[in-house]
Amino acid sequence: MRIVSAHAGTIPISSSMRNAYIDFSKMDCTILALVSDVVVDGRPLVGYGFSSNGRYNATAILNERMLPRLLDAAAEDLLDQEGELSPAKAWDVMMSNEKPGGHGERSVAVGVVDMALHDLAAKAAGVPLYRWLSDHYGDGAPDEDVFVYAAGGYYAPGKTLKDLQNEMRGFLEAGYEVVKMKIGGADLAEDLRRIEAVIDVLDGDGSRLMVDVNGKFDLRTALEYGRALDQYGLFWYEEVGDPLDYALNATLSENYRNPIATGENLFSLQDARNLIRYGGMRPDRDFLQVDPALSYGLTEYRRILDMLALHGWSSRRCIPHGGHQFSLHIAAALKLGGNESYPGEFQPTGGFTDDAVITRGRVAPGDLPGIGLEGKAEFYKILRDLHD
């Protein structure tokens, strides 16, 4: 297989909501189509990728560095020994002449291409991505479905406690059993009222609620909230301090006994390893949220899983950020603990295929070849327009 052309674009995934750190009024995303020379039913096979959410588009880096390297590579430099397209070899090609460190600058761009290459590789084999991944990198027996939780509970202009409760009821009616809300964008007393309002909707069960600070707190505030949250027995307390402040995280983990989660703003093996080495994360209860799309793709994510295994961590403690169809396949194939979901947000890229049904908080990746973005009608129209 050869890649004959690459088409990148930028689309908005904006909304009026706000977490403790940013609003999403200008949020956008890179999308990509890689057209191959393999023809099936009279049409070329095309691999699609996009850049999750939370970081802005990386289209310029893609167009100026990653795609020229990919398109200029000799055909054999992108193939494995069996002559199949190898996303791992393509990763080395894209990263040639790049110095170490400074990962966030380019990890999103590489992640988009890595996603499209995996889509293409699975489509060439005629199988859904989770099957291809399980056969190539897993044990050949993927999970049939994946735990998903509904992320929401953002701050928004005029949003009342009743609105917040209705939002959470909607998630439960849609089939979710665990929900997530934002904290740290109000004072502690107001956040505790919001948390208790949501726990009411969860029949008083705080273990079905996650709270997310989006990296806002200093150590004193992290510990103060931790003391107040302890009584609820939450599912997790997320990204409490700056994502690179491992000492803060370590002190928090010594003082907060319930689970903590972090990692959505770590973009490399090296950063994730530093979190594990220095961040005090506890393999018996804490969770890692590295998003494969934002952090150099699945090729790097597999290195992160290997590193975790060396440090005694189970893949079940990984629940990626992002709420997208790519991580859903990865979670099923590589036996992760679950995947995020944002019902209704970050459209058209976010979420699962249009026919996905959440049952008792679990969902299956579906059986379309590749990632299955063809099963997201609105998004697929935009992706097709990129190259048609």
Ligand X SMILES: O=C([O-])CC(=O)C(=O)O
Active site residues per annotation: 182, 321
Q: Determine, following the binding rule CB under 6 A, whether residue 351 of this chain makes contact with ligand X.
A: no
CB 364 within 8 A of CB 340: no
Q: Which one of residues 114, 145, 212, 374 is an interface residue with ligand X (CB under 6 A)?
A: 212
Q: Determine, following the binding rule CB under 6 A, whether residue 340 of this chain makes contact with ligand X.
A: yes
Q: How far is the CB of 50 from ligand X (least distance, A)?
A: 16
Q: Determine, following the binding rule CB under 6 A, whether residue 19 of this chain makes contact with ligand X.
A: yes
Q: Determine, following the binding rule CB under 6 A, whether residue 262 of this chain makes contact with ligand X.
A: no
Q: Determine, following the binding rule CB under 5 A, whether residue 286 of this chain makes contact with Mg ion.
A: no
Q: Which one of residues 145, 167, 191, 212 is an interface residue with Mg ion (CB under 5 A)?
A: 212
- With CB under 5 A as the rule, give the number of residues binding Mg ion: 2
CB nearer to ligand X: give 159 or 387.
Answer: 159
Q: How far is the CB of 324 from Mg ion (least distance, A)?
A: 14
Q: Which tokens in the block code for residue 3?
A: 């890649």
Q: Determine, following the binding rule CB under 5 A, whether residue 340 of this chain makes contact with Mg ion.
A: no
Q: Determine, following the binding rule CB under 6 A, whether residue 214 of this chain makes contact with ligand X.
A: yes
- With CB under 6 A as the rule, give the number of residues binding ligand X: 8
Q: Which one of residues 55, 123, 194, 321 is an interface residue with ligand X (CB under 6 A)?
A: 321
CB nearer to ligand X: give 54 or 138.
Answer: 54
**Position with the least CB separation from ligand X:** 19
Q: Which does 271 bind (CB under 5 to 8 A by kind): ligand X, Mg ion, none?
A: none
Q: Which does 340 bind (CB under 5 to 8 A by kind): Mg ion, ligand X, none?
A: ligand X
Q: How far is the CB of 43 from ligand X (least distance, A)?
A: 35
CA 32 to CA 362: how far, in whole Å? 29
CB nearer to ligand X: give 120 or 151.
Answer: 151
- Binding site residues, Mg ion, CB under 5 A: 212, 264
